[in-house]
Chain A
């Protein structure tokens, strides 16, 4: 193994004035999604004109130039299309144990969520059948989740 030569040049620094962002995210046009989530349902929108299903949900269909789309509940069973387990956690997620993020195909749409009930990511299989639900993983934080069916 060669010597690990890495460019790391340090010098004196001063601290900046900290900048803290906390955004107010408008949910008026997706209110039914957030309502559904609280009831354990995952909802998408459907354009009554062209039939397009939008997930993540949006109230405007850019294909038909119409707004006020209808709301539908997505199926609660699907198959895993792909997955990962996050070990290097970002700010805001440091206090969670490493978590498995998966994408499940429920037929009419795909959903991204946490896969629960599987300890070792090496036991996850692309194509495995899962049930879709919603779990409050901590006070006020609702996450779409999958469990092996």
Chain B
């Protein structure tokens, strides 16, 4: 018997999302509450129904260094868990995976996963230094002062040299995602940009420019999960099922990577998720992918199997990742336009895909669906870890 067959089916029955952006008006726990309250209301549940709470937070830029218990307590979940989860920028889907496993295994019927991050309480140089230390301080940051954008730029340069990917291709990702963010009232950047503006923005780590980069944001997102029995008893009319989860990781040493043109952790995580969900990449209609920098979205098209390796630039240039294209990618605005509050990001992706699969999105942002298959792709560091979750109606 396949291992997956011994697990119970798990549904997402409620989702919540704070407004992303510079949220100097709230503390971490106040911000988390915005997402938790919306998710509970969306599910039609109260805190008393939640059997386990999973709090995802990276917590390296906050004044509260061990924030799981304060977050839970503020939200009225004082005695429920919490299980704290950290997987750098992939914390959100790692938290979802943990909550899923509680329900799938039968340890709980109802679980809540929240991802929350406050990144703007410290200045930008401090934030860059924290990010640059991610995954491997001693042998990289300590010597050569790499930052997160610099590490992605190493991939961009290699991808350009090997496949002829251009700065214009990357700019097109920013233009597309800003177009969606402009229509998302919860996005950090609710405005459009042009190719010329992206190409003319100041360099951060060549060839990555400011408008190729996701912003430093505050935000929270949450999901309530239920077993199939619990979802039926609650009378949930539009459960969205977790079809399959995949995960993997890669060496944190850039110099030990096999190449710099894709993220092997994503390739492996996607293969696992597709196998468990019994689908192929061509079944995916709507996807939220980890576009921390524009080159990351181009590599994601390839590593997730939407297009063959090396053709990611062409894929965006042909409009195949536009709303209504071969795969509608980052219709929330992505990390680029919506913002990237580390631990919130993965659950923000789940929020968007659930809303899309329920066809609750406003005109101009609802992806056309036939198979009702969506995907979320969350990456830690530069492919240090990757999580892929297939969601379906």
Taken together as a complex, chains A and B put the C-alpha atoms of A92 and B133 apart, in Å, by 12
**B187: nearest chain-A partner, CB-CB:** A7
CB contacts between A and B, total, < 8 Å: 147
Task: Identify 8 residue pairs between A and B in the complex whose beta-carbon atoms are under 8 Å apart, listed by A's number.
Answer: A84-B154, A84-B206, A90-B129, A90-B141, A96-B145, A101-B150, A111-B255, A126-B161
Contacts of B21 in A (CB 8 A): 6-9
Residues of B within 8 A of A (CB): 19-26, 63, 121, 124-126, 128-129, 131-132, 138-141, 143-147, 149-150, 153-158, 161-162, 182, 187-192, 194, 197, 202-208, 253-256, 260, 339
Cβ-defined contact, B22 with A8, below 8 A: yes
Known: A87-B203, A91-B129, A126-B162; 16 extra A-B contacts, CB below 8 A, are A5-B182, A6-B189, A6-B191, A7-B187, A9-B26, A82-B158, A84-B157, A86-B145, A87-B202, A88-B124, A92-B129, A101-B144, A109-B255, A110-B255, A111-B255, A112-B144
Residues of chain B lying within 8 A (CB to CB) of residue A110: 255-256
Pairwise interchain contact A81-B158, C-beta atoms closer than 8 A: yes
Q: Mark A127-138, 1 if CB is under 8 A from B, else 0.
A: 100000000000
Q: Which residue of B lies closest to A98 (CB)?
A: B203
How near does chain B come to A113, taking the closest CB pair, in angstroms? 6
Instruction: Give the docked Cα–Cα distance between A82 and B165 (Å).
Output: 14
Contact B191 A2 (CB under 8 A): yes
Which of B121, B157, B182, B187 is A83 in contact with, Cβ under 8 Å? B157
Contact check, B22 vs A10: say whether CB atoms are below 8 A apart: yes
Contacts of B132 in A (CB 8 A): 90
Contact present for B189 and A84 (CB under 8 Å): no
- Smallest CB separation, A145 vs chain B (Å): 9
User: Which listed residue, B128, B194, B202, B260, touches A1 by the CB 8 Å rule?
Assistant: B194
Partner of A4, one of B139, B187, B191, B194: B191
Partner of B205, one of A85, A112, A114: A85
In the bound complex, how far is the Cα of B197 from the Cα of A42, in angstroms? Answer: 42
Q: How far is the CB of B259 from chain A (nearest CB, A)?
A: 9
CB distance from B125 to the nearest CB of A (A): 5
- Cβ–Cβ contact A82 & B189, under 8 A: no
Q: How far is the CB of A117 from chain B (nearest CB, A)?
A: 16
Q: Are B161 and A82 in contact (CB-based, < 8 A)?
A: yes
Question: In whole angstroms, how far apart are the Cα atoms of A75 and B139 in the complex?
Answer: 18
Give every chain B residue within 8 A of A121 (Cβ-Cβ).
Answer: 206
Contact A83-B154, Cβ < 8 Å, known A91-B129, A101-B144: yes
Say how far A112's CB is from chain B's closest CB, in angstroms: 5
Bound: A93/B140 CA distance, A: 13
CB-CB under 8 A from B149, the residues of chain A are 88
Q: Chain A 100-130 against B: per-residue CB contact (8 Å), 1 yes, 0 no?
A: 0101000001111110000001000111000
A1-19: contact bitstring with B at CB < 8 Å (1 yes, 0 no)?
Answer: 1111111111101001000
Q: Which of A7, A55, A94, A101 is B190 in contact with, Cβ under 8 Å?
A: A7
- In the bound complex, residues from chain B placing their C-beta under 8 Å from that of A16 are 63, 121
Least distance between B351 CB and chain A CB atoms (Å): 16
